[in-house]
Structure 1
Amino acid sequence: DLRVLEQAAEIRFQRLHAPFLDNQVVRACRALPEALRVQPGARAAILRTVLEGAGVADLPPGWGAPSHASAAVAARTGLRVAADSLMALFGTPLLAQAGLVEARVVRKALRAAAEGEPLPLDGLADLVSLELWLHRLLARRGTCWTGTPARQRAVP
């Protein structure tokens, strides 16, 4: 993933900064005994110790521990709140017009996920974002660069 980010940054002549892959951080992580690195909850404990050493104390219990449950709950809450808008978006989706998805199947999956059925939310998020991007692309067509007068060439 980092290699892809580096290549994308090189194309646009931008500097990429990934602080968690900083040389000093990587060396410190590799210096930890392997038995400590693979323990459940070890990352949160190490992070807590590092922050305490830097002067940050009084962290709430469980801070730093990964919680996929809260992310899934937030995603499902977002789906429930935006259900009407998503159904309208996938009423006549551009992806279906292109023959890439079946609108009925996507709407059914969105309804089921909003109701709490265990479905892969990442795939739904990708579909929604791609459909939104296509709609915005078509809405912008002709408003940015098309129809602008050609620049005059300077006569030497």
Structure 2
Amino acid sequence: MKLQKGVTGFDATPSYTIDDLKEILNGIKSPYSKTEAVLKPNDSSNFYQIKIKQDKTKQEFFLLVNSTYLIFACVEKNRCFDLNFIEFPIDLITQLKAQVNSSLILLNPKELNKRMDAPDLELLGETELKQIKYWKSKILGEIVFNCFD
């Protein structure tokens, strides 16, 4: 997967607005609910975090959204340097895809744990490449959902 310039959050102009994201998140319906406020990207993370609860099973997980592109992933816990990616529930995929056009990307654990090679990174900016090298990021998930500062 060739990563697009700005995916790390450095020197990036978001491809969507916060209102776009709110509209997508408002489309999340039963059996899911958002249990806390949306945690926004900050000086040391490049992604939004939304705590989701499956109302029937009471299972909780986090939905991550890249701050530059509409790239989504699910994790068990929101520990920045210990992101354990999990599969999207099928019905949540259906809800998310109903809200947006083809610009939405939902990544599964196999994709997120894929090792990135030089050709995958060739579109990134110089600052992004320096950060990836400094933080020793090797897999897609560590680059798309990072805690570089």
Taking structure 2 as the reference length, the TM-score comes to 0.26
Which structure dedicates a bigger proportion of its chain to strand?
2
Which structure dedicates a bigger proportion of its chain to helix?
1
- Give the greater-gyration-radius structure (CA): 1
